[in-house]
């Protein structure tokens, strides 16, 4: 968030409209090598109704004439930081609600560790109440460890002049740091004899919920949003550890994220495999998209996604909820037009079709053939220098 151009509460939404040139449409059977746009077809009363995303799709070379979807929300910070510094923006997210919850749960778990410890001289026997200021120091040291890597955690407190890092010993003792790490907790454990919750994320679920509530109260995003997945590196044993071939960290915890173009994360969904009842099963990708967009429908947002998520059915569904979609498209998706998918193009050629409710599917041959889908843009080609 630091350095972003988010205006304050009084910001006004500006909507820029781009003019479209109507040219003579190419023959439906001949791929186009230019950016010509067929004229709009007459609007019908039926095309104004929300589409049934599972109904058969009627395709045409003509762009349908439909009412434009305006962005009706306001991009702004709802709560201004106390200082215009990285720390000020950090405190916007890591606010008192987060601290109070973490401190309460950590203190409860530390007490249970203390009562259950059979050793008089164990580290937990010297415990004391964890305060907000001390926890902030602990967090700062933890973040600093990400910049200075050593083989063992204890090595940050070495006294040897060759390896000494004074800041760690000055701010917190090694045993105190390790004790806080041992007791760190975000949710209560099940009681004795109680079964584990069915939610595989029950240990961090309260923290995820707090994050979403905080983001709702702090910021409303711009018109253009993006959905993609990210991998959190995890090399240990975990039942829902995933493998994603194209990522730098191929093994880890898979997270679906809704972000702004600036990279600001608005919503997250941690994928827990087949037990993830919210998004698992048929239509998995569509369920993920709808889950992340729940708070942003009906306001005219444009969402950019890759071919893992995009489909004609999903785009028609979201278009009925005033959400535009744009991105690459897999050739085997349901309701794809085989005429577009199977057509072989020469380099530079473009072929496209429109559905009656405003979905444009096109194929373009650059270095290779690329299949695209958009409810926001047409087949116009724009040179970028």
Average pLDDT over every residue of 198-221:
94
pTM comes to: 0.81
Count of alpha carbons within 13 angstroms of residue 383, beta-carbon side: 3
Q: Which residues, including other chains, have CB under 8 Å from residue 4's CB and lie 6 or more apart?
A: 262, 264
Residue 64 corresponds to which tokens in the numbers above? 């349908």
Q: What is the pLDDT of residue 56?
A: 78
Task: Give the torsion through C-alpha atoms of 82, 85, 89, 91, to 10 deg.
Answer: -60
Report the C-alpha gap between 222 and 71 in whole angstroms.
9
Alpha carbons 272 and 241: distance in angstroms, whole number: 8
Average pLDDT over residues 286-310: 96
What pLDDT sits at residue 7? 42
Any idea what the Cα angle at residue 52 is, between residues 50 and 53, rounded to 5°? 110
Tell the burial category of 30 from Cβ atoms under 10 Å away from its Cβ (0-12, 13-18, 19+). exposed
Look at residue 11 in the predicted model and tell me its pLDDT: 45
Look at the alpha carbons of 95, 96, 97, 101 in this order and tell me if their dihedral is positive or negative: positive
How many Å apart are CA 153 and CA 165, to the nearest integer?
12
Of the listed ranges 10-24, 124-138, 182-196, 293-307, the least confidently predicted one is 10-24
Report the pLDDT value the prediction gives residue 41, as an integer from 0 to 100. Answer: 45
Q: SS3 sequence, 286-345?
A: HHHHHHHCHHHCCCCCEEEECCCCCCHHHHHHHHCCCCEEEEECCCCCCCCCHHHHHCCC
- Report the DSSP beta bridge partners of residue 226: 259, 304
**pLDDT score for 253:** 93
Confidence of residue 170 (pLDDT cuts 50, 70, 90): very high
Residues 29-80: pLDDT tens digits? 445 544 444 554 443 433 434 455 567 788 989 899 888 999 999 999 999 9
Q: Rounded CA gap, 198 and 25, in Å?
A: 56
How many C-beta atoms surround the C-beta of residue 41 within 10 A? 16
Report which of 259, 256, 352 is spatially closest to residue 304, judged by C-alpha positions.
259
19, two tokens = 């003019």
Mean pLDDT taken over the chain:
84
Q: What length is written for the chain?
A: 385
Digit-coded pLDDT (tens) for 102-154: 999 999 999 888 888 767 767 777 778 999 999 999 999 999 999 998 999 99
Residue 168 and residue 156 in contact, taking contact as beta carbons nearer than 8 Å: yes
Work out the angle at residue 208's Cα, subtended by the Cα atoms of residues 204 and 210, and round it to the nearest 5 degrees. 115
Lowest-confidence pick of 1-10, 113-122, 329-338: 1-10
Residue 28 predicted with pLDDT over 50: no
Q: What is the pLDDT of residue 45?
A: 35
Closest CA to 310 of 355, 353, 377, 372: 372
* Model confidence at 176: pLDDT above 90: yes
Q: Which of 21-25, 161-165, 256-260, 295-299 is the least confident region?
A: 21-25
> What is the model's pLDDT at position 299?
95
Q: How confident is the model over 232-256, as a mean pLDDT?
A: 87
Q: Residue 383 has what pLDDT?
A: 81
Banded pLDDT at 274 (limits 50, 70, 90): confident
Confidence of residue 228 (pLDDT cuts 50, 70, 90): very high
């Amino acid at each position: 968030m630091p350095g972003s151009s988010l205006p304050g509460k009084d910001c006004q939404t500006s909507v820029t409209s781009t003019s479209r040139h109507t040219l003579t449409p190419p023959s439906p059977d001949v791929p186009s090598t230019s950016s010509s746009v067929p004229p709009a077809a007459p609007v019908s009363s039926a095309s104004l109704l929300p589409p049934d995303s599972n109904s058969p799709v009627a395709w045409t070379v003509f762009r349908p004439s439909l009412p434009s979807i305006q962005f009706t929300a306001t991009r702004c910070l709802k709560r201004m930081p106390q200082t215009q510094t990285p720390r000020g923006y950090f405190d916007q997210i890591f606010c008192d609600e987060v601290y109070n919850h973490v401190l309460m749960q950590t203190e409860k778990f530390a007490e249970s560790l203390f009562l259950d410890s059979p050793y008089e001289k164990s580290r937990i026997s010297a415990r004391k109440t964890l305060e907000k200021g001390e926890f902030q120091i602990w967090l700062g040291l933890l973040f600093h460890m990400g910049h200075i890597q050593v083989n063992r955690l204890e090595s940050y407190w070495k006294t040897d002049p060759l390896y000494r890092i004074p800041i760690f010993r000055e701010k917190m003792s090694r045993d105190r740091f390790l004790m806080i790490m041992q007791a760190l907790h975000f949710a209560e454990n099940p009681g004795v004899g109680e079964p584990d919750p069915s939610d595989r994320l029950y240990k961090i679920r309260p923290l995820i919920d707090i994050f979403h509530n905080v983001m709702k109260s702090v910021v409303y995003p711009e018109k253009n949003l993006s959905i993609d997945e990210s991998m959190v590196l995890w090399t240990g044993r975990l039942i829902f550890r995933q493998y994603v071939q194209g990522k730098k960290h191929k093994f880890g915890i898979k997270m679906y994220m809704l972000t702004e173009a600036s990279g600001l994360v608005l919503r997250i969904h941690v994928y827990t495999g087949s037990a993830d009842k919210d998004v698992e099963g048929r239509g998995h990708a569509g369920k993920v998209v709808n889950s992340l967009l729940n708070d942003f429908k009906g306001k005219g947002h444009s969402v950019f996604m890759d071919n893992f998520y995009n489909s004609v059915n999903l785009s028609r569904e979201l278009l009925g909820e005033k959400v535009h979609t744009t991105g690459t498209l897999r050739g085997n998706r349901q309701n794809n037009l085989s005429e577009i998918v199977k057509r072989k193009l020469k380099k530079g050629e473009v072929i496209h079709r429109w559905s009656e409710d405003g979905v444009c599917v096109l194929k373009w041959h650059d270095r290779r053939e690329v299949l695209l889908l958009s409810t926001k843009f047409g087949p116009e080609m724009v040179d970028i220098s």
